Amino acid sequence: MINMVINGRQVQAEEGMTVLEVAQKEGIRIPTLCNFKDINNIGACRMCVVEDTKSGKLQASCVLPVSEGLSVNTASPEVLDARRTVLGLILSDHDRSCLTCKRNRSCELQSLADELGMTEIEFDGPRTIHTIDEASPSIVRDNNKCILCRRCVAACEKVQGVYAIGLQNRGFKTQIGSVFGFSLNEAACVNCGQCIIACPTGALTEKDATKDVWAALADPKKFVVFQPAPAVRFAIGESFGMPMGTRCTGKMVAAMRRLGADRVFDVQFAADLTILEEGTELINRIKEGGVLPMITSCSPGWIKYCEHFYPEFLPNLSSCKSPHEMQGVLTKTYFAQKNGLDPKDVFVVSVMPCTAKKFEIIRPEMGRDGYRDVDATLTTREFAAMVKQARIDFVNLPDEGFDDILGESSGAATIFGVTGGVMEAALRTVADILAGEELKDIEYNDIRGLEGIKEATVHIGGMDVNVAVAHGTGNAGKLLDAIKAGEKNFHFIEIMGCPGGCVTGGGQPIVDAETLRTINPLIERTRATYEEDRDMPIRKSHHNPAIKFIYDEFLGEPCGHKSHELLHTHYQPRDRYSNKTV
């Protein structure tokens, strides 16, 4: 332990800690803008300066290591003046249209300006005006609101390994951009939205779909169906002041009905369906000598990453569409037929924890006969915004259930939203099929947890099945490199594009950097997910009676002719630097 002094008080700190970390531990909140836990610790913004009381120097606390006898003041007049000066300089070249910004009241820059009493712009003058990049179907980049903290760049490079954005130019002309001056739509962006989660301001936001959904709800000719992903129900409450990890399934459904949805189905139904299709596909590949390892295809961010950077693994992808696309297909075929509806009049709204789904729904292979499987995708944040616009009292809503039959699901479907969940759900079914009996041990703890890559060998049906789980495309790349080098050998791999899986997807509620130092949303939302799984009366996908019914009534059999026509697809290679297919 190292002895040091903070604000005249003797404290002890572990070797290797920074002054910022020690202050946080002692209950002192040092402001930051560029610092982002475990991702971006570069001391660039200078908001976190503290005074070395012995030398009088101001130093960035996020990169200042503790040392024996160090004495700092975190709120001296010199420190406060320096922070106000730094903040004033940032604001001098910042678009200050706060009232119309998506991040109004959730902007870290705005919060600091209020905290430091910034009542006027001391350095006001001509500003650099940037063109807003709205070309992507998933992400809007507005450099007029960028403060060059580089948190988005760190998330894209260090976590996701995509390198779609980076610093360009020098001095006052410095900006965040893509290679060759590309828009995000032209660049090799995988649309994961982790840059949005990292951004402290409104410089990066999702492409808004709320206007389209409001228009559909107001159109008497449209039959509007809402369908939420598993991870949404464990995060939506945060948007209304509820504790992180609150289970809000019933309130979420009730809110969708009050917005005007004609039906509320559950993507978890299609998650169970995915397990039957994907599990059958895996068994067929193992028995018939198909391409192995088979890799999951639920995450559109991962799919696009594979298309750009590892096209040689495209044959390894499961041919299954993602669950919300399957759900949309069944709504516009089976449900529409049963209820005498024209599929073109059925408007399917997916509520997703994901921004990559916005790109996925416009892929040409995701539709037929002149209509798309899914018409609009709302992020969790956008759905919350619509609930607030409608003045719905979310917290006090009664719990309501989904509509039959496309709203029935199992616990296996619930865990689709966390890393390892798709793998575990598949194993619960595949193990029973290969073993020829109902296995009681259904929790696969070896593939749970927060490690970037998890490996396990599961003995089922008289054979050893080697499996792996990776979350975040950066970890996916490491795993695929090991397979290419002949260092690893697997039968089945689950990959999710976002770190932690869908529960921390790019469309989930924003958690500010200061909160992230003490609370991990991945842990809290994952805990809620497994709690809901344990409370479900059915915990295996093939036990869901609605799944059995849909095969008997409509689809025939898993991986049969009908399901292949409606529920399966294929992908194609893309250029490594641009969005073009090759």
CA-atom Rg of the chain in angstroms: 25
Identify the residue whose tokens are 């420190």. 79
- To the query of whether residue 173 is one of the catalytic residues in this protein, the response is no
Give the separation between CA 47 and CA 42, rounded to whole angstroms: 12
From the number of C-beta atoms within 10 Å of its C-beta (0-12, 13-18, 19+), residue 541 rates as buried
- To the query of whether residue 199 is one of the catalytic residues in this protein, the response is no
Give the separation between CA 489 and CA 482, rounded to whole angstroms: 9
Letter for the amino acid at 97?
Answer: S
- To the query of whether residue 548 is one of the catalytic residues in this protein, the response is no
Identify the residue whose tokens are 């060059």. 148
CA angle 205, 208, 210 (to 5 degrees): 140
| Catalytic residue of the set 357, 358, 454, 540 | 357
Closest CA to 509 of 129, 168, 240: 240
**Residue 351: its H or E element:** strand 346-352
Give the separation between CA 540 and CA 544, rounded to whole angstroms: 7
- To the query of whether residue 365 is one of the catalytic residues in this protein, the response is yes
What is the three-class DSSP state of 426? helix
* Burial call 25-53: b when 16+ CB within 10 Å, e when fewer: beebebbbbbbbeebbbebbbbbbbbbeb
| Catalytic residue of the set 318, 322, 409, 410 | 318
Locate 471 and state its tokens: 């979350």
- Beta-strand (E) ranges in 462-502? 463-471, 492-496
Closest CA to 381 of 581, 219, 231, 536: 231
| Catalytic residue of the set 502, 524, 541, 559 | 502
Helix extents (H) in 222-370: 249-259, 267-288, 300-309, 323-330, 336-338, 356-360
From the number of C-beta atoms within 10 Å of its C-beta (0-12, 13-18, 19+), residue 573 rates as middle
Give the separation between CA 253 and CA 255, rounded to whole angstroms: 5
| Catalytic residue of the set 281, 325, 524, 532 | 281
- To the query of whether residue 332 is one of the catalytic residues in this protein, the response is no
C-alpha distance across the termini of the chain, in Å: 57
| Catalytic residue of the set 108, 238, 307, 360 | 360
- Beta-strand (E) ranges in 472-569? 492-496
| Residues comprising the chain, all counted | 582
| Cβ count near 440 (within 10 Å) | 5
- To the query of whether residue 211 is one of the catalytic residues in this protein, the response is no
Give the separation between CA 177 and CA 189, rounded to whole angstroms: 12
| Catalytic residue of the set 48, 152, 248, 298 | 298
- To the query of whether residue 541 is one of the catalytic residues in this protein, the response is no
Give the separation between CA 372 and CA 174, rounded to whole angstroms: 40
Closest CA to 302 of 468, 484, 470: 470
Distance of alpha carbon 544 from the chain centroid: 27
Locate 314 and state its tokens: 């495209």
- To the query of whether residue 122 is one of the catalytic residues in this protein, the response is no
Active-site residue set: 278, 281, 298, 318, 357, 360, 365, 502
